[in-house]
Amino acid sequence: MAEGYLRDLLEDNYGVYSAGIETHGVNPRAIKVMQMDGIDLAKHTSNHIDEYQKIKFDYILTVCDHAKEKCPYFPSNAKRLHFNFPDPAKATGTEEEIITSFIKTRDLIKNYCNNFKNDL
């Protein structure tokens, strides 16, 4: 979700990449709630951090404690920023309750990305 917002907010002024320590596809519920806010993630992919070892980053943002704690060493002089967002993929309950969890996290991420852009 952060990649979607940052690509939209930063347009072509910055290269935006998204990766994790595991790849398991883009969550269909994330695609759904982002589409509700006008951001299309349907063609986004799930990438592993190792794919980006040779890119020189200005910023590295981690969006959950699991990634921050388990991420392999990633050599970079980039400024590192971290915020632990709730993981809506772990939500339980009815479909409506789970979607509500995704929306809450989406809105937190959107606010975070707006603040990031404003601080550049």
Q: Are 43 and 25 in contact (CB under 8 A)?
A: no
28: Cβ contacts below 8 Å, ≥ 6 apart = none
* Domain range summary for the chain, segments of one domain joined by +: 2-119
pLDDT, tens only, 6-15: 999 999 899 9
pLDDT, tens only, 68-108: 677 666 778 899 999 999 999 999 999 999 999 999 999 99
Q: Which helix (H) or strand (E) segment is 4 a member of?
A: helix 2-10
CATH H-level superfamily of 2-119: Response regulator (3.40.50.2300)
pLDDT, tens only, 23-70: 989 999 999 999 999 999 999 999 998 899 899 999 999 898 776 677
For the chain, the DSSP string reads -HHHHHHHHHTTSS-----BSS-----HHHHHHHHHTT---TT----BGGGGTT---SEEEE-SHHHHHHPPP----PEEEE-----GGG--SSHHHHHHHHHHHHHHHHHHHHHHHHH-
Q: Are 44 and 18 in contact (CB under 8 A)?
A: yes
